[in-house]
Amino acid sequence: MLLKWLKLREVADAGVTLADQFPQPPEPLPAARGRQERLRRAHGEALRDFLQRAVHQARGLRLNFLKRVWLANSFKWRLLEKGVDAETANEWTQTLVLEISPKKTNAVPGLAAQADPPGSGKVRNLFTLGQESQGRGAYDEAVAYFQEFLRLKPHRANALNSLGTALYSLGRYEEAQEQFRNAIGREANYPEAHANLGAAYLARGLLREAENSLRRALELKPDNLDPRFNLGLTLLYLGRLDEARGQFEKVLKVEPRRAEALVGMGLVARTQGGFEEAGALFNRALQVNPNVPGAWTALAGLAR
């Protein structure tokens, strides 16, 4: 019940929040054509700003296919409730889904950065091109470059791991999971691959598997905060709230201004009934980063 509420309620609330931010079109003013044209231009700029905000707010929600459907439905029905006509609601729901699709968003926080492999010439260039493509969000290109690299150098653990991160960014979690496993098969004590495997399990809702992989990553590299944060989320979804709080506290001890960890602590507090503490934590997170995923939605949920 906790897992379902945390995953689907948050996504549905995000859809409603986005619909409430949707800019209304200007009222027609047929007798003032110049003014009407300025209003139309201003509305177009407001729509572009809205889409940029929508992408920022969608990041970190790990929107797989099912969750995108939930968000789209709540967004569309809220628009209709507000009096937006059906054609406009449908058009903007489709536009929103396209904008927040995996290849439109940045890499999910928590995936480990990669190091350049040894090598030279064409092979090394393929890896570099893959990294550059991934850096600008062209994940399909990155997958193609890493696959070609691995065709020539099939046993490189860091290339397998990099291919996994590109697949993960496209929402292809099961394929990413396979590549992280392959990387671990080549290099058993590869902390980043264990951390990324845990993130892939978490994205698929395989919480026990996620916990095991993330704990292994931390055994190998205890100071790595990304798997520690993901372990906190995993324990939160499992309902082990005190343990989750402990992991978030360890993250914040090292990085007191890590906004997503403050949100995680707030979610723990809210679930335990500490609504005042939760509100303070969500507000602190927003002071650090106004675009931190989930904070606005969580704060709005407290207000309701």
**Cα–Cα distance measured from residue 213 to residue 114, given in angstroms and rounded to the nearest whole number:** 18
| pLDDT tens, N- to C-terminus, the chain (304 residues) | 333 334 556 677 777 788 788 776 655 444 444 444 554 555 566 677 777 777 776 665 666 655 666 677 778 778 888 888 777 777 777 777 666 665 433 333 344 444 444 444 566 678 888 888 888 888 888 898 899 889 888 888 989 999 999 999 989 999 999 999 999 999 999 999 999 999 999 999 999 999 999 999 999 999 999 999 999 999 999 999 999 999 999 999 999 988 899 999 999 999 889 988 988 988 898 888 888 777 777 777 776 5
d(CA 183, CA 24): 50
CATH number at residue 172: 1.25.40.10
Q: In this structure, is residue 185 part of a structural domain?
A: yes
Evaluate whether residue 147 is within a structural domain. Answer: yes
* Residue 213, in any domain of the structure: yes
**pLDDT score for 62:** 63
Neighbours of 272 (CB within 10 A): 13
Instruction: Give me the domain span that covers residue 160.
Output: 108-221
What total of structural domains would you count in the chain?
Answer: 1
pLDDT reported for residue 55: 73
Alpha helical stretches, state H, the chain: 2-4, 10-21, 33-58, 65-81, 86-99, 121-135, 139-152, 157-169, 173-186, 191-203, 207-220, 225-237, 241-254, 259-271, 275-288, 295-303
- For the full predicted model, state whether its pTM sits above 0.75: no
Q: Residue 189: inside a domain, yes or no?
A: yes
Domain-embedded: residue 286: no
How far CA 247 is from CA of 21, 195, 216, 251, in Å, comes to 34, 15, 15, 6
- Give the closest residue to 156 by CA, choosing from 121, 120, 194, 182: 182
In a domain, 158, yes or no: yes
Q: DSSP code of 107?
A: P
Three-class SS of residue 84?
coil
104: Cβ contacts below 8 Å, ≥ 6 apart: 55, 98, 137
